[in-house]
Amino acid sequence: MEEGHKKILQRYRINIVTSLDPSSVYDRLLQKGVFTPEMIERIKSSGTPRDQARQLARDLATRGSRAFPLFLECLQDSEQHSLAELLRSGGSMSNDLILPVVRTPPVSSAVDFQKQIKAAPIHPLHSPGPSPGAENRQAQTEIRTRMEGRKRRDSLQSYKMDATPCGHCLIINNVDFEPQSELSNRTGSNTDCDRLERRFKALHFLVEVRTNLKQRRLKHELSALSKKDHSPYDCCVVIILSHGTEVNHNRFPGAVYGVDGQYVPVQLITNYFNGKHCPSLQGKPKLFFIQACGGGEKDQGFEVPSDEFEPSEGGIDDQTDAIPASSSSDSLSTSDEPDAGATLPTPSDILVSYSTFPGYVSWRDTQSGSWYIETLDRILEENAANEDLVTMLMMVNNEVSQNSAKGIYKQMPTSFNSLRKYLHFQTSTPGQNSVQHN
């Protein structure tokens, strides 16, 4: 598909999800060769009509150059004129973008059909070409009936993520630590906090920021959030920017520090929001992003072929968020500090994303913020309209892994995931007002 058409699908994604009647275009898309029967079945199995519309738009962007105009024709033929006109008018925003409505003549013979396929290559088509006329339609109906009666073991639905607002997002930003904690101040963390506040507001969350919390207050804020009524919302997000360390555990390694030097285990943080303690979030995704150290070990990585990666060196102000440890010959200067980590929650519908692997330090630049948060923010900005969360976190892993602190030390983010479905964020649509926050 042409890049301009993909951008229109991204721009009007919310309109497609809320307005499209997918069931009315399946036969038409199949007849025109835009989708194969297998792809139609996959879209149907994605869940509610809104989930199906979302999956349809996502798959449509992977098809050939004529997929978009053929889709517009299907909308017109199914009398979804408003949506068709909206998508067609999207092309007027670019001088070089032309969105013609293609009228495909009826296929009267197998020869004509083959000519049509050659003239409009929609890739990839793995099923044989259909036969013409009423016989063709009957054969397609029989195929769909057989496929509808067969469960796809590899099919996954998507979480409902269209509430406005989508849910609460709590950011805890611990920057200035009390002298008795023996923990250094986390210069650059405010940059991380500002980035994430803007990003999750753009993703339609109600964002609240709490700064410099002692352990007791940190637990109080988490408990208060878990006791809210989340029934009107689809998701809950907790972000913690602090120092971290390893602790003894039975499930979840890692802990984050209050500014008083007392820590809160990650296991306790997730327990506040599990199905038992927060009933209004049962079955809904609960996301935790932790920028902190998982321990004090520094990873020097291993050699790989020079043409496989393009390594990036961190800045001169790279720091970590680890607790003080006994001095060693490889300790860095006071301008270098690390940030924490954890493991797989037993309750369902939880994802915990860590800036580093348990046991290792996490790097933060005093000017531009942490590697992990800076990369996460950019990946969400560039890809949230089309990719699911787990895929985007894999992108974050790849990019952060190529950085180097002082040209020596590496960092590997990690996630522990018990989500049961795909998770796609809402994304803002140009021309629409941002969601209102109370």
Q: Which residues are catalytic?
A: 243, 293
Q: Are 424 and 54 in contact (CB under 8 A)?
A: yes
For 147-159, b/e burial (b = at least 16 CB within 10 A) is beeeeeeeeeebb
How far, CA to CA in Å, does 175 sit from each of 215, 279, 403?
A: 14, 32, 24
**∠ CA(63), CA(423), CA(159), 5° rounding?**
105
- The Cα 207–Cα 97 span in angstroms is 37
- Give the DSSP per-residue string, 229-262: --TT-SEEEEEEES-EE----SS---EEE-TTS-
- The Cα 218–Cα 403 span in angstroms is 31
The total of other beta-carbon atoms located within 10 Å of residue 114's CB is: 12
Write out the H or E segment, with its range, that includes residue 199: helix 189-202
What lies within 8 Å, CB to CB, of 344 at 6+ separation is: 251, 252, 352, 416, 417, 418
- Give the DSSP per-residue string, 287-324: EEEEEBBS-SB-B------TTT---EEPPTTEEE-BPP
Query: Six-digit token pair at 9?
Result: 């699908």
